[in-house]
Structure 1
Amino acid sequence: MAFNIEFKRTFEHRPWKDRKDRVKADGPDGFNVRFKALEADLDTLRERFRDVSAALNKVATPVPSQVSVSPILRPTGNEKQWWIGVDGSSHIPFPETQSKGIVNIPMPTAGFITSLTAVGRFKGTGFVRFEFFRVDPTKTLPDKLAQLYINGAASDDVITVNAPINRVQIDPNSTYVVLAEGNRSATGEIVQVSGLRVTIADS
């Protein structure tokens, strides 16, 4: 892609000669004329940089950033807590069949939230429900930004589920948390949450 952005210098310095040229402000060879010519060239350069910046901004693709956390899910109230493995993943502990917990998502101070992703191993008929909340200290109730489910499968392969979010602007005064509630119908089923990820766009 050619932008064809050019700059041609117009100022040309004509050297003064000792003991021949007199310093003067006005006239065709005075300081005022010469510095005005330099000023014009600098203004043109400024405009060219603006053109380059605008052209690059048009073709630049914003790269989303991601916030990833190990799902160390803290128990809520009297709910059955998740068991935390040495790898940072959370499991429903045997012989329990359900667990509920919450994890804080450390967010940047600016940007737009575009999705929530959960990763884990889920074998059997169990499921996990994830709810993503923004907790504004000035409000009585939190704002639910997203909800997603992971259902059990026949094998224990890693499963990734994504919930798109319609560009929610980050509020640096709020706290962001994910609430995870897991259930299984038999103690032999696998319900393991190994990662949570929030995708953020810068514009």
Structure 2
Amino acid sequence: MADIVFQPTFVHKEFVDGPDGDRVRADEPNGFNARFGAIESDLRQLSTVVGQIDTALDRRGTGPAGHVLTLAPLLLWAEGDPLAWRITASGAATASGDDVFYGLMEVALPDNALLTSFRAMGQVDNNGEGLGISLSRVKIPGGTPEVLASVGGDTGPFDRSTDVDPTMAVTQTATYRYIIQAAFRSGGGTTVTLAAFQIAYTSS
């Protein structure tokens, strides 16, 4: 976009009092008509510039806005499934012991938003295998979860991000529920801690 510039043209020339000073005149270069005409021209130009600024601001507000939704991993246990993740006082989710752990949580997303990426952060003590975290949608009133994005973690701190499947990236909250699932098969005293999930999206 070109620069928006206001360049005034009116320059005030002082009147002089006294016998040899200026006389009040309507015409001539220093007359009132010329002076007020220059001021009027500047005001018209200023009005045009204000309109250009307003249009530029409106255009900036019509594009899609980027958002990042950060979620504490408040994973719920489903009856009949493997062991539940334990939620700590800080809101993190942990799993440890020689067993299989599973949890899920609902995610409230705006309708008609474009999901762009899914991110999971946490810590794996010792050598952890079989950790899977996914963002999915489930058709209402019920159905098999469709995975939109999934990440895993291994030894030490992890911070994994992946793109959302573009074929299912636009949210349809009247048709689908959105959930995050986390599963881990522990062995050898491994402990996994999930710190946070993030979902990046754009909306109008």
Shorter-chain TM-score: what band? 0.5 to 0.7
Aligned length: 163
For 2:193, the equivalent position in structure 1 comes to 192
2:73, 2:92 within 8 Å by CA — same for their partners in 1?
yes
For 1:30, the equivalent position in structure 2 comes to none
Aligned residue type for 2:162? A
Q: Aligned runs of 1:122-137 on 2, under 5 Å?
A: 122-127=124-129, 128-137=131-140
1:90 paired with 2:90, answer no
Aligned residue type for 2:124? F
Counterpart of 2:164 in 1: which secondary structure?
strand
In 2, the alpha carbon distance for the partners of 1:63 and 1:123 equals 38
**How many Å apart are 1:124 and its aligned residue?**
1.7
**How many Å apart are 1:166 and its aligned residue?**
4.3
**How many Å apart are 1:142 and its aligned residue?**
2.8
Per-residue CA deviations over 1:39-66 (Å, capped at 9, x if unaligned) read: xxxxx99x85785357x449x9754212
For 1:159, the equivalent position in structure 2 comes to 158
1:97, 1:186 within 8 Å by CA — same for their partners in 2?
no
Runs of 5+ unmatched residues, structure 1 = 7-43
Aligned residue type for 1:2? A
In 2, the alpha carbon distance for the partners of 1:104 and 1:134 equals 10
Runs of 5+ unmatched residues, structure 2 = 7-47
Normalising to structure 1: TM-score of the pair? 0.66
**How many Å apart are 1:83 and its aligned residue?**
1.2
**Could you say which structure has the larger radius of gyration?**
2
In 2, the alpha carbon distance for the partners of 1:132 and 1:72 equals 14
Alpha carbon RMSD of aligned pairs, Å?
3.4
Of the three residues 83, 102, 105, the one matched with 1:80 is 83
For 2:25, the equivalent position in structure 1 comes to none
Of the three residues 107, 118, 121, the one matched with 1:119 is 121
**How many Å apart are 1:131 and its aligned residue?**
1.8
Aligned residue type for 1:130? I
